[in-house]
Structure 1
Amino acid sequence: MTDGLDDGVVMVETTRGGRTECVHRGHAVVVDAGGDIVEAWGDPALVTYPRSSAKMIQALPLVESGAADAHGLTPRQLSLACASHEAAAIHVDAVNDWIATLGLSDDDFRCGAQEPRNKAVRDAMIRAGDSPCQVHNNCSGKHAGFLTLNRHLGGGPDYEKVGHPVQQAARAAWEEVTGETSPGYGIDGCSAPNFATSMTGMARAMAAFAAAAGGHGGRSGTRTEAQARLVEAMIAHPEMVYGEGRACTEMMRAAGGAAAVKGGADGFYAAILPERGLGVAVKLADGGDRAKDIAMGAILARLGVLPEAARPRFVDRALTNWRGVEVGRLRATGALA
């Protein structure tokens, strides 16, 4: 049962030899600062898991509880709390330094060990005969945030459990900013619960972050300040959110401060547009990373926050073979143009 997942709009296609070779269906919603749908493709009511695209929401209790300030967290660390980093040295060193200030070690994480996504780090580790640690997990920045919040709340060691105060705080924030009671959760790759929401709910949450960071609607208060700080941290330190050359990082750089974007596993993407007061949620039915970058890039270009110079990577990309010969295109369809 797909619950409507496959009923989406054809958003991205690949062509080769003048023929369409693949199509990628998906769903997307753009919501404004007032919580209203501006544009939608597919089913705005589709309920799914935002996966790592929701890390900004999961980091909200870290900031609004006072834990971030109590432990002197910097904007660079706040960006790591929202990150799916590639475990380059800048990420691993920063996370290790962070948990050391808490008097904690790699053993205190609950995210699990993961082979580094950064090729240089991975290859060096193989040559040295070393094994990956939990700090190499792409979610270790988020978990460092969980550990910091847990220290502030005085909870037990199993902070990843759905009934733990850390995750209860995350769920409360999740439901408040999406404006929906979550119908349930799934366990993410890093062992933390990921709460289901509708496409509109996720876009509504991103619009709330955008309104906070962009000063729309005269909002104020602890939550507004926390949302603004997280968005500003991501935009100021895009290299911490993923890594050099990676889509999230490069898309934010291309947008020049006009967007904070965050990809998630299995075809999800979210974007926060502070200047426009807009939130965007995208879900590709086939879960493909290759297509989701194009879908989000096309929507950001449509909304005027991605420049023409970024189109060759994020809207209409050449496909090359092993000899570097262009053999086709990976591009957004007319539905997103």
Structure 2
Amino acid sequence: MPTVELIELWRGGMLESVHRGHAVVWDAGGMVAAWGDPDAVIFPRSSCKMIQALPLVESGAADAAGLGTEQLALACASHSGAAIHVTRVQAWLDGLGLAEADLRCGVHMPQDKDEHRRLTCSDTAPCQIHNNCSGKHAGFLTLNRHMRADAEYVLPDHPLQQAVRTAFEEVTDEPSPGYGIDGCSAPNFATSVKGLARAMAAFANPQGGGRGDAMRRLVAAMVAHPELVAGETRACTDLMRAMGGRVAVKTGAEAVFVAIAPDRGIGIALKIADGGTRASEAAITALLIDAGLLDADHPVARRLLTAPLTNWRGLEVAELRTAAGFPA
């Protein structure tokens, strides 16, 4: 089945742009709803960081290192590189007796405006701790030390990444057809949209101890610290705050978005085919509203989906709409 129209942009009474994609809602009983092709294979990118963090918790490495909820939230984060992020990751590495050079995520300027300005105005170069994935990599380093494995923990055949792949395939309940190298240099294992939704439903319906406890702890950490999972003005942070800690959400590059709703027992996964973040944020907002998890009149919902778009003079010039039949 091909992609379907999910989000539209209208200007001057005319349809200007259309974002197509796939979306799946899953619960403990199976697929609740789907648009597009549930079997479409995608790279989940950063939307699956809570899966990548499972071995950290399941192995006992998190407890052995004394990690708290802030560190677990950062392990699932694509943070903005703000002071609240970089200071915590630095302290985490210090506690491990490790340094920035032990990370393998690479360097980029932070998204956070204040930290970006501070670095620019002081003529200071960013470091790997500013990387949006530095929390995930601090988690990898914590697990790697626990495993007593070699330093190149991002290599696909490294025992750590093999542990991640095993967890990934178990919670998606399907073998991964392969991997790509993510922006942070770690392998990103492919799965279907329904596999990703199935995994999110597993986090929403954790069973027993062991992995179930690990899932509960990671979701609880995300919703307890939404500011650490992304950052101020970011969709993940704002949506989790708007839903009062009832739902964990996580974006991924190239317009992937997931949601975990324990009180409803559902997981959601979506992919916008053109990679447009604007559309993935609007689509997840629409699905959360449809599921009764987010008030359509909440300012965050309006900003991401229903409010008119303005130009540089503040004039209302366009609007986003859900396509016919989406959500339903």
TM-score, normalising length from structure 1? 0.95
Provide the C-alpha distance between the structure 1 equivalents of 2:142 and 2:268, rounded to a whole number of angstroms.
29
* Alignment of 1:12 onto 2:7: yes
Amino acid corresponding to residue 28 of structure 2 in structure 1: A
CA drift of 1:322 comes to: 0.4
* Alignment of 1:272 onto 2:260: yes
Amino acid corresponding to residue 167 of structure 2 in structure 1: A
Pairs within 5 Å for 1:1-337: 7-34=2-29, 36-212=30-206, 219-310=207-298, 311-337=301-327
**Maintained 8 Å contact 1:27/1:41:** yes
SS in 1 for 2:20: strand
CA drift of 1:8 comes to: 1.1
**Maintained 8 Å contact 1:76/1:240:** yes
Amino acid corresponding to residue 47 of structure 2 in structure 1: S
Q: Structure 2 regions of 5+ residues with no counterpart?
A: none
Between the two proteins, the alignment pairs up a number of residues equal to 325
CA drift of 1:317 comes to: 2.9
Amino acid corresponding to residue 265 of structure 2 in structure 1: G
**Maintained 8 Å contact 1:317/1:331:** no
Partner deviation per Cα, 1:24-77 (whole Å, 9 max, x = no partner): 00100011023x100000000001100000000000000010000001101111
Task: Report the aligned-residue RMSD.
Answer: 0.9
Amino acid corresponding to residue 317 of structure 1 in structure 2: A
CA drift of 1:279 comes to: 0.6
Partner deviation per Cα, 1:311-333 (whole Å, 9 max, x = no partner): 31233132110011110102222
Provide the C-alpha distance between the structure 1 equivalents of 2:195 and 2:173, rounded to a whole number of angstroms.
6
Amino acid corresponding to residue 262 of structure 2 in structure 1: P
Partner deviation per Cα, 1:219-238 (whole Å, 9 max, x = no partner): 20200000000000001110
TM-score, normalising length from structure 2? 0.97
Q: Structure 1 regions of 5+ residues with no counterpart?
A: 213-218
Return 124-133 or 308-317, whichever deviates more: 308-317
**Maintained 8 Å contact 1:29/1:44:** yes
Percent identity between the aligned chains? 58
**Maintained 8 Å contact 1:53/1:263:** yes
SS in 2 for 1:38: strand
SS in 2 for 1:309: coil
SS in 2 for 1:203: helix
